[in-house]
Amino acid sequence: MSKLFSIGELSSCMCVSVRAIRYYEEIGYARFRNEVHVKVIGAGNEGLRALNRLRGLDPDIQTVSIAYGDELNDIRRAFGETELLSILAGIDHEAALVIAQEARKWGILTVGIVTDSFEEGGANRHVQVLAEHVDLLFDFSVYFDHQCCEDMIAGAIEALSALVLKAPIDLRDLHTIVKNKGRAYLAAATSTGASKISDAMDQLFSSSLLPEGLFAKTSFAILTIMASSDLSLFDAEHMVDEVRSKLADGTNILFGTIIEPDMHDAMKVSLVLTEIRSGAMLRRIR
């Protein structure tokens, strides 16, 4: 059973004009399962390698590999009843573009995830073309640490799928989160102990994986908190306030907490920043 808290039940001290905030909490050990169908497709050799390296995905997330040259009918059959589709691909793989175009025709929400690649020529152009055919795009091709890249890919998938599969988000909410958001950036944190909340927030805000100036240029943020049942509404509200304090006025924040008894003392937090304001100039911190 889940509870849905409206904005009126959150803190009245609003530093940011927030038009849509939702808080999701699972109570007890009964897990809520949504009817939204989530799938991850590995496109081409690079996407397939990334797909094979992923570990610990929710078993309700289906995985499929598609090679360049596969017939459109095979691609369409692979979609099935999918409503949220993540496409893993190298920076130059045309199969990802074909999949994205077909998915959009079928009304499927699409998330492009560009994996690590050592190919230099035309990287920015290929990524930009894919970005124009997906609703949300994570570009991890700039990270040369393979383990870091794999962790970020899994984190991007988990950040969205956990809200969809384990919280009462309907398809309309899903469109609000994903539809036509453009480039997206991810910060993730894992912490334990008495100071786990402050430690997790420090990790998010100090992440070297986020371009400099991104918080001030973001129009939409998604905060996902996974923890055991010792996480209180006060704790969650405090974490949202911390994120809110970093964002510009007018930023929309959607956040959800997912109670996982097996996590015990651990906490996992992810923050997706997207819908970057037009004309924003971002410099990646190395």
What pLDDT score was predicted for residue 25? 37
What pLDDT score was predicted for residue 170? 66
How many domains in the chain? 2
Tell me which residue range forms the domain holding 112: 38-161
Whether residue 54 lies inside any domain: the answer is yes
Whether residue 17 lies inside any domain: the answer is yes
Residue 65 in tokens? 């590999």
Compute the distance between CA of residue 150 and CA of residue 255 in angstroms, rounded to an integer: 24
> Exposure string (b/e) for 227-266, b if CB count within 10 Å is 16 or more?
beeebeeebbbebbebbbebbeeebbbbbbbbbbeebeee
15 and 65, same domain (yes or no): no
Compute the distance between CA of residue 83 and CA of residue 174 in angstroms, rounded to an integer: 9
- End-to-end CA distance of the chain: give it in Å, rounded: 44
Look at the block and give the residue holding tokens 């904005």.
7
- What percent of the chain stands above pLDDT 70? 76
What pLDDT score was predicted for residue 19? 29
Compute the distance between CA of residue 136 and CA of residue 111 in angstroms, rounded to an integer: 5
Specify the CATH number for the domain of residue 88: 3.40.50.1440
pLDDT digits (tens, 9 = 90+) for 209-239: 788 889 989 989 989 899 988 888 899 999 9
Specify the CATH number for the domain of residue 263: 3.30.1330.20
Low-confidence ranges of the chain (pLDDT < 50): 1-33, 118, 121-122, 281, 283-286
Whether residue 286 lies inside any domain: the answer is no
Whether residue 168 lies inside any domain: the answer is no
61 and 15, same domain (yes or no): no
C-alpha dist (Å) from residue 54 to 58, 97, 135, 143, 152: 11, 22, 22, 17, 10
Whether residue 177 lies inside any domain: the answer is no
What pLDDT score was predicted for residue 164? 75
What pLDDT score was predicted for residue 244? 92
Compute the distance between CA of residue 206 and CA of residue 202 in angstroms, rounded to an integer: 6
The mean pLDDT of the chain is: 77
Compute the distance between CA of residue 200 and CA of residue 225 in angstroms, rounded to an integer: 10
What pLDDT score was predicted for residue 141? 79
Picking from 70, 110, 116, the residue whose alpha carbon sits closest to that of residue 86 is 110
